[in-house]
Amino acid sequence: MHILALVPGGIGNQILFFPTLETLKQAYPDAAVDVITDPSTVSIYRIYPQVRRAIPFDFSDRNSLADWSNLLGVIREQEYEIVISTQSGWDIGLLLWLSGIPTRVGYAQGGNLFLSTAVTEPTSGYQAERYHVLTQGLGLNVPCPSPRLRIPRKDLEWAEVEQKFLGAKDNGYVLLYPQDGADLYPVQNWQIVVQKLQERQPDLPILVVQTTTGREVVAQLTQGGISCGAVFPEQIGQLAALIAGATLLICPEGDMLQLAMAVQTSTLALLGRSKPEQVLPPREGLTSLQSATGKLADITPQQILDAIFEKR
């Protein structure tokens, strides 16, 4: 049996779709499952064994008729029996109908006339559960599991070497992931958080993931005489291993927050506009701070410090 899933969006969206994939594999253990996703997110499926193949397609691009025809050809070659789509619209519905796949499940919105089963999309709640509702279109009425990711051994070994080199192997470490993008947590605020953390717990190593913003954070901390380690994961599996090994991850909302959820790391999530119940599962070891204004910059360093030491 062959199953196809259409899951546009970033790495965070893919991780939030993991519970749906897990339910599919439990219901159809011998099925080969493929995913069509954005090119930038294909890497997450290289370390997710539930999926046989990730097919890149840029859903947000101005795709020509030739682009859609090529995608249709790729789909028809495999002769899938089931397809599930998290994206609605007449164009997606028409694509799936033309594919000849007999069982086509999606949300009951635009294009649902082309679906064999249309499911009502929830308008609120945890995004993983909103995706998981699609399995009801296959008659699977089971609880939504939590997103989970098993990290490959080679990535765990890489992280252990990095931790040992940075003096973080035995005592654990706090990992900071300064997110890149439009809504950033200010570098000067990160500096205050790290300085106060080191004053309270001088023996606890602090590591910073080297995003573009992360490099600026490390540069300013170093100039201010504050000690921290810089880590340079080149692959998403290496980043997952670093997150999994952390005593605490401090991370703004985004893709890497969802990666932390999948590897079950104790996390302090900094949220701007997203509501905690939308992006975070209910579980222990998880704390969130939401900006009252919707801007990350308005979460104060003192709020972060209070949340850290309350957790500890």
Domain-by-domain residue ranges, the chain? 2-138, 153-311
- For the domain bounded by 2-138, which CATH number is listed? 3.40.50.2000
pTM above 0.85, yes or no: yes
Distances (CA, A) of 230 to 45, 180, 219, 303: 26, 16, 10, 24
55 backbone dihedrals φ, ψ, rounded to 5°:
-100, 120
Indicate the pLDDT class of residue 268, thresholds 50, 70 and 90. Answer: very high
| pLDDT confidence tier of residue 14, bands split at 50, 70 and 90 | very high
CATH 3.30.70.380 holds for 153-311: no
pLDDT tens figures, 20-30: 999 999 999 99
What is the reported pLDDT for 136? Answer: 95
Do 153-311 and 2-138 fall under one CATH topology?
A: yes
Tens of pLDDT, residue by residue over 192-242, are 999 899 888 888 888 988 876 667 777 777 777 777 788 888 899 999 999
Average pLDDT in the chain: 89
Dihedral, CA atoms, 295, 296, 299, 301, nearest 10 degrees? -150
Question: From CA 41, how far away is CA 298, in angstroms rounded?
Answer: 30
Confidence of residue 166 (pLDDT cuts 50, 70, 90): confident
Sequence-ordered strand ranges (E) for the chain: 2-6, 32-37, 53-56, 82-85, 103-107, 117-119, 174-176, 206-209, 229-231, 248-252, 267-271, 286-290
Among candidate residues 268, 186, 191, the one with its CA nearest the CA of residue 223 = 191
Q: Are 103 and 82 in contact (CB under 8 A)?
A: yes
